[in-house]
């Protein structure tokens, strides 16, 4: 994983989907280079969202590089942090617990407007003071949330960005989502 340093933001150039590899049992990028993929069967099931790996990009088993949405309602979910319904921080100091709560909150927001993770076209994850040694905790949180929510691979395109801080000192991660509903 290559990292670009910036005074305030550490941008992870590898997508966070790679971080999810172990959580969902995916295989690493093949050593023999890029491969192409047919659209995922999930695309036919997820109400107008087709996920593909374009020719010339690495094949990633756990997620697809591109999502094409053909629905009629664009939904933007604000960055969700590890707060319960009463605004209390869940999992202070525990990255895995906070990642899990963020994903559960995204699911709650989607459900309110008639959607689910099947409708998500893009996720962005902001992680405080990200370093690669935090990957196991991140993956654990995603795996726990995925199990509770019934999320299966492949996931939509997902980008992870390391940041110096978020809105409150106890918050370690924030997840925002874009979805397309019919």
Residue 43 makes CB contacts below 8 A (sequence gap 6+) with: 49, 50, 51, 52, 68
Residue closest to 26 by CA, chosen among 151, 121, 164, 125: 151
Asked whether residue 61 carries a pLDDT value surpassing 80, the answer given is no
Indicate the fold that domain 3-25+71-181 takes in CATH.
60s Ribosomal Protein L30; Chain: A; (3.30.1330)
Asked whether residue 81 carries a pLDDT value surpassing 50, the answer given is yes
Mean pLDDT, the chain, integer: 76
Q: pTM above 0.75?
A: no
Domain spans in the chain, listed from the N-terminal domain onward: 3-25+71-181
């Amino acid at each position: 994983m290559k990292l670009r340093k910036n005074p305030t933001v550490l941008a992870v150039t590898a997508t966070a989907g790679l971080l999810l590899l172990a959580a969902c049992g995916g295989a690493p990028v093949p050593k023999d280079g890029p491969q192409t993929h047919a659209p995922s069967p999930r695309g036919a099931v997820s109400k107008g969202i087709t996920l593909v790996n374009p020719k010339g990009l690495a094949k990633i088993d756990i997620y697809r590089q591109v999502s094409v949405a053909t629905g009629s309602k664009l939904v933007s979910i604000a960055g969700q942090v590890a707060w319960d319904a009463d605004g209390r921080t869940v999992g202070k100091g525990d990255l895995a617990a906070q990642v899990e709560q963020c994903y559960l909150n995204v699911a709650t927001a989607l459900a309110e407007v008639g959607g689910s993770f099947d409708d998500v076209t893009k996720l962005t994850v902001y992680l405080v003071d990200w370093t690669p040694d935090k990957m196991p905790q991140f993956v654990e949180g995603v795996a726990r949330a995925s199990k509770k929510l019934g999320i299966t691979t492949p996931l939509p395109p997902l980008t992870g960005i390391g940041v110096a801080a978020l809105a409150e000192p106890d918050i370690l991660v924030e997840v925002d989502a874009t979805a397309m509903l019919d």
